[in-house]
Structure 1
Amino acid sequence: MPIAPPARAALCLLAMGLVLAGAVRGQETRPNVLLVMTDDQGWGDVRSHGNPLLDTPVMDRLAREGARFERFYVSPVCAPSRASLLTGRYSLRTGTQWVTYGLETMRPEEVTIAEVFGAAGYATGLFGKWHNGSHYPSDPLGQGFDTFVGFSAGHWNNYVDAPLVANGREVETRGFITDVLTDSALAFVERNRDRPFLAYVPYNAPHSPFQVPDAYFDRYKARGFDDRTAAVYGMVENVDDNLGRLLDRIEALGLAERTVVVFLTDNGPNGDRFNGHMRGFKASVHEGGSRVPLFVRWPGRIEAGATVPELAAHIDLLPTLADLAGVPLPAGLVLDGVSLAPALLGTGPAPTGRTLFTHHSRGADLEPYPGAVRTDRWRLVREGAGWELFDMAADPSEAVDVAAHHPDVARRLAAAYDAWFADVTRGLDAPRRIPVGFPEAPVVTLPAVESTQAGGVRYAGESGWANDWLTGWGADGDRAAWALDVVEAGVYRVVLDVTAPAPGVRLRVASGAATTEAVVDRAFDPPFLPSPDRVPRGEVYAKPWMPLDAGTLRLGAGPARLAVDLVAAPGPDALDLHAVTLHRVR
């Protein structure tokens, strides 16, 4: 089932047609969409899914007042789930392969739900975690959102008084991050109460670091949970309270009957805790790594308490919401997902006999496995040396591999997976370059995690997750380099974010024949910023950075490589480098 890249031109034509037809169609009759997704909350992290020790009254209310999907699937980790939700296409097809190193970036030519709804006259806002590209035009503003408050990376360092980005500008905030993001979403709803809106609220809780206000943490510690689980459950309950704030405001504005509310999570739980007796959790291609809650409420249109037992997935949300809202899809946009609107509205059944595919990358290498195939009855899984087959009707916990008893089924599903993987990864191994020179983005940051390294340079953290930096500078041959795509030639001022325990570090920045140098003339080696973690984190801690002006470089148009080389150092471990920022000189 080959899928051609969608054409942006179709969106422009669609938008023009909708503007001309707006008065006739009655744009104000289209429903609003509130799309809420949490980060690392599993299927079992909801009371109504059989977890009596967790309080989620608002999520449970959504399930009662709307439709509950019984077998809804996403990807095993964050960024791929988000790409599929936004585009209605399998994430590998969109260019999103993993969660860091720039491999989370979605191709800019992908058409997102924000672009589809924006072309139909909707106000579009995103409040929370993007995680599908930090550089324009793959960032939220380049992918169709009019308003963006949050962050683009895979996780954020601190959840209290966190600096966030608001439409391209860094802003300081006060309070717990989930509360702050909700405040921004509420303001967006208020501003757009008289026109249709799409509000996408991808909270970053309960992803690590595990930080949560005392009242929530203490409640779950009193129930006997360890610190990690108490923090996670506290973060989930705080999300639930904020979801209640959103619903209350929509109802107070008289918009409840005109608003489709969707709640889901992005992968299995980020830890081994109650998950409905399913096998696996986050990063696993077993059932527990990708089956998550999905509740959809639209009072008066979707029957309260309805259930959808058929297989469904993140790839279905764009076509489903567009169908519910009466928003046309651009011509030529071919999707992997299908509309589930008939099943929600009671006008037809959900599709049956579907085959869903799951893949999990484990780094920069484009490996075909781990992978899985899910049908109504079977789950075929390859996480180790070979394929395993599970009869999900008889064995929902995947305890017994029955591949030897059903070899024809295992062969058929394995062949389907291999054909699918070859299809969705066409062109995925093309070089990834950071775009520089768009007028809409005169300042471009090259993060450490999107570099290649040489010599003794290495990540400070174990795996180079978001917000990591490069350490180990101190000898000849130490280098970091970034692959660029300069869309417009020009002169750029180069600023490096560094720390250094002693002065005397000399660096050369070069791109082709153009070079400039910078010298660290004073020590700057601050401690980590205070971090109210409940348990030690797996990611790096945050610290301040000193901007080091390295002068200017002229970059020619086209593919380019920018390298930072160590010229001199007063000793080993002389420098940490967090990012290089290029400022277009007008």
Structure 2
Amino acid sequence: MYNSAKNSVNQCFSFTNVLFFALVVFCCFSKAQANDTSLSNSRPNIIFVLTDDQGMGDLSGTGNPIVKTPNIDAFAKNSVRFNDFQVSPTCAPSRAAIMSGRHPLEVGVSHTILQRERMALDVITFPQTLQQAGYKTGLFGKWHLGDEEEYLPQNRGFDEVLMFGAGGIGQYSLGDFKANTKNPYFDNVLLYNDTIVQTEGFSTDLFFDASLAWIKQQIDAEQPYFAYVSLNAPHGPMYAPDSYKRRFLEQGLDKSSAARYGMVENIDDNLGDMMQTLKKWGALKNTLIIFMTDNGMSMAPIKKGSQKIMPYNAGMKGRKNTPWEGGTHVPSYWYWEGILQENIDVESLAAHIDLYKTFSDLAGAKIPKSKLPPTGRSLVPLLENKKATWPDRKLFVHKGRWDDNRKNKMTREENKFNNGAVRTEQWRLVYTLNKGEVEYFLSDINKDPAETINLAKQYPEVIKELTAAYNNWWDSTKQYLVNEQLPEITAENQPFTLKYNKQLKEKGIPNWKPNL
């Protein structure tokens, strides 16, 4: 009896062990499966909305008391927010870094004009990498990385292109179509793939509508895609539809400020409409949508009657075209319904150079070998876990623009410490020149985001370490500056002007609108 009971107990114990072991194996297998379904190679559609000259302070959600951006605010609330996202101080450099995954000075971009905005042809862009992974790619709006044929986005990885020339609509002397000087931002002449076309309506509305029309084609074809909605707004000159300016004019704001904030609110409405349209199409569950800006705020003081009010800049020092936090710290919001966690703050130091590897990682795309490979990091670990291991890093800033025979006539070497900076997780070291002497401003950026207290004298060892790294980086960039000393091109000889005159003579300029 005892032996029989003992055998039964042993059998039960053995069964329990087997069951426990099976559960352990199942849990480990399930965990492995979860890891296998990580974001890497998840192949989402990607929509990247990039605005121009809009700063951290140009959102009601970040505290702006004048402008209202409910759609962007709601988008941000539902997103993964990179709270320390760094870009370049001006537009062409930021775009070069995004496309190449490298610092702009490492791909030949040292200005926004004078042919120094042309991204080196040795760069294999991330859209080209996505194309090789089976993605269709579209650009709608601003390119600003060269208007010569070989530099155009059509030859740098984009299947669909609707763009203007130079860095802004109406910048005829710098390369845009002369027709756009008459009524900038409305009824523009644009390049659509290989044909110059006449469009209707406000430019921001048009770029959103054109992107959605193209996106619908990709959805219907069950084709993975990358859509780059690269807006010119709210870059100057300041133009907006009357309905968007009215509220600000009624409050007594000057026309320029009313138009700029009107442009911001128009962007907000368009983003809201895009999200509703994607939801109606059932496209949110397989689409990553990113909202970002290209550099810090650019806005003149607001005039209200006899008052002059400094525009709200989220408490940051500096703005566009400066090496301070206000010149390079931008919003970066990432939303993917049901996949990314919502309302998440990522505090790790991230940057525009990280987008290349991130998009390639998501798409399961193998980055081709090239002379100028991307040097950033994939943000996928942080998208999966905001506390993922993320080693400290040094990010270098320099606004370029040396020796342009305009505002800066000094040489590159004379400009080495003229508006440069180094960022790490803790520190921001800014270099400026005062009568030829280098001045150092060191901030503990997390404790002092407004950069009010200079700690340079208290931490000479930090100055020494960061400056040594900066020196090495600066010296390494000289070999990459392939666009220096190029001749300035007159307006009538700019590539888009020549292309326009040729097409006008041969077949005219057809009307075009998106089929949405």
Name the TM tier (shorter chain).
0.7 to 0.9
CA 1:37–1:306: 2 relative to 1, 3 Å: same
Letter in 2 for 1:151: F
Q: Show the counterpart of 1:404.
A: 457
Over residues 43-77 of structure 1, what are the superposed CA-to-partner deviations in whole Å (9 max), with x where a residue is unaligned?
11111112242211221122112101111111000
Q: Which of 398, 416, 435 is 1:359 aligned to? A: 398
Q: 1:176 aligns with which of 183, 191, 202?
A: 202
Amino acid of the structure 2 residue aligned with 1:413: L
Residue matched to 2:124: 111
Q: Which amino acid aligns with 2:273?
A: R
Give CA-to-partner distance per residue, 1:444-489, whole Å, 9 cap, x none: xxxxx833xxxxxxxxxxxxxxxx748xxxxxxxxx9x9x9xxxxx
Q: Secondary structure of the equivalent of 1:353?
A: coil
CA contact (8 A) 1:53 1:223 kept: no
1:381 and 2:430 are equivalent in the alignment: yes
Partner residue of 1:300 out of 325, 338, 342:
338
Instruction: Flag the structure with more relative contact order, 1 or 2, with Cα contacts below 8 A and sequence separation at least 6.
Output: 2
Counterpart in 1 of 2:264?
236
Q: Which residue of 1 aligns with 2:326?
A: 288
Distance 1:546 1:91 in 2: 33
Identity %: 39
TM-score by length of 2: 0.77
Question: 1:209-224 alignment to 2 at 5 Å?
Answer: 209-224=237-252
Give 2:385's aligned residue.
Answer: 346
For the 8 Å contact 1:90–1:424, the answer to whether it is kept is no
Per mean C-alpha deviation after superposition, the further-off stretch among 244-253 and 118-127 is 244-253
> Compared with structure 1, are the counterparts of its residues 243 and 378 closer, same or farther at alpha carbon in structure 2 (3 Å cutoff)?
same
The residue that corresponds to 1:102 in the other structure is: 115
Partners of 1:228 and 1:418 in 2: CA distance? 41
Report what 2:363 is aligned to.
325
Provide the residue aligned with 1:526 in structure 2: none
Q: Is the 8 A contact 1:128 1:203 kept in 2?
A: yes
Question: Which shifted more, 59-68 or 343-352?
Answer: 343-352
State whether residues 257 and 299 of structure 1, in contact with CA within 8 Å, keep that contact through their aligned partners in structure 2: yes
1:416 has 2:483 as partner:
no
Question: Cα offset for 1:276?
Answer: 1.1
> In 1, distance between residues paired with 2:482 and 2:502?
35
Give the counterpart letter for 2:55 in structure 1: G
Partner of 1:160: 186
Q: 1:275 aligns with which of 309, 313, 327?
A: 313
Counterparts of residues 33-52 of structure 1 (less than 5 Å): 33-52=46-65
Cα pair 1:66 1:299 within 8 Å, conserved: no
- Equivalences for residues 517-532 of structure 1 within 5 A: none
2:349 is matched with 311
- Check conservation: 1:125, 1:148, Cα contact below 8 A: yes
Q: Which residue is equivalent to 2:407?
A: none
Deviations 1:95-142 (A, max 9, x none): 111100110000122011210111111110000000001012211011
Distance 1:153 1:49 in 2: 31
Take 1:265 and 1:84, find their aligned partners in 2: how far apart are those partners?
A: 13
Please list the CA deviations of residues 417-470 of structure 1 after superposition, one character each: whole Å capped at 9, or x if unmatched.
Answer: 11111113324156676xxxxxxxxxxxxxxx833xxxxxxxxxxxxxxxx748
Q: Which amino acid counterpart does residue 398 of structure 1 have in structure 2?
A: E
Task: Work out whether residues 118 and 483 of structure 2, in 8 Å CA contact, stay in contact via their aligned partners in 1.
Answer: no
Matched, 1:253 2:253: no
- In structure 2, do the counterparts of structure 1 residues 159 and 406 end up closer, same or farther at CA, with 3 Å as the change threshold? same
Q: CA deviation at 1:404?
A: 1.5
1:183 aligned partner, one-letter code = D
Shift of 1:91: 0.8
Deviation at 1:548, TM superposition (A): 13
Which residues in structure 2 correspond to 1:62-77 (within 5 Å)? 62-77=75-90
- The residue identity in structure 2 corresponding to 1:42 is G
- Opposite residue 373 of structure 2, the aligned amino acid is V
2:375 to 318, 321, 336: 336
Say if 2:295 and 2:327, in contact at 8 Å, map to a contact too. yes
1:146 is aligned, of 136, 150, 159, to 159
Which secondary structure does the structure 2 equivalent of 1:296 belong to? strand
Q: In proportion to residue count, which structure has more strand?
A: 1
Of 255, 276, 282, the match for 1:227: 255
Name the SS for the 1:327 alignment partner: coil
Over 3 Å counting, the alpha-carbon distance change for 1:405 and 1:145 in structure 2 is: same
* Residue of structure 2 in register with 1:370 after alignment: 419
Aligned partners of 1:46 and 1:56 also within 8 Å: yes
Any idea what SS the aligned residue of 2:264 has?
A: helix
1:134-159 CA-partner distances (Å, limit 9, x unpaired):
01221101101011001131111110
C-alpha displacement at 1:202, in angstroms? 0.6
CA contact (8 A) 1:353 1:375 kept: yes
Identify unmatched segments of 5+ residues in structure 2: 1-40, 171-183, 300-309, 405-410, 506-516
Stretch deviating more after TM superposition (251-260 or 364-373): 364-373
Higher alpha-carbon deviation: 41-50 or 350-359: 350-359
Distance 1:307 1:29 in 2: 22
Describe the SS at the equivalent of 1:124: strand
Q: Secondary structure at the match of 2:433?
A: coil
Contact 2:317/2:324 (8 A) holds in 1: yes
TM superposition shift of 1:226: 3.0
Q: CA deviation at 1:218?
A: 1.1
Match in the other structure for 2:146: 133
Contact 1:41 / 1:266 at 8 angstroms: preserved in 2? yes
Q: CA deviation at 1:376?
A: 1.6
For residue 357 of structure 1, give the secondary structure of its aligned residue in structure 2.
Answer: strand
Higher helix residue share: 2
Code of the residue aligned with 2:256 in structure 1: it is R
Contact kept, 8 Å, 1:79 with 1:99, in 2: the verdict is yes
Q: Distance in 2 between matches of 1:547 and 1:341?
A: 45
Verify: 1:425 aligned to 2:482, yes or no: no
What is the letter of the counterpart of residue 156 of structure 1? I
Give the greater-gyration-radius structure (CA): 2
Cα distance per residue 1:335-357 (max 9 Å; x no partner): 22101111112286152312111
* Count of matched residue positions in the alignment of Structure 1 and Structure 2: 425
CA contact (8 A) 1:42 1:269 kept: yes
Is 2:135 aligned against 1:122?
A: yes
Match of residue 190, structure 1, among 210, 216, 223 = 216
Give the one of 67, 78, 81 matched to 1:54. 67
Q: 1:355 to 1:431 in 2, by over 3 A?
A: closer
CA distance in 2, matches of 1:235, 1:241: 10
Is the contact made by 1:301 and 1:345 (CA closer than 8 Å) also made in structure 2? no
1:222-269 Cα distance to aligned partner (Å, 9 max, x none): 344333222111101101111122222222221101000011000111
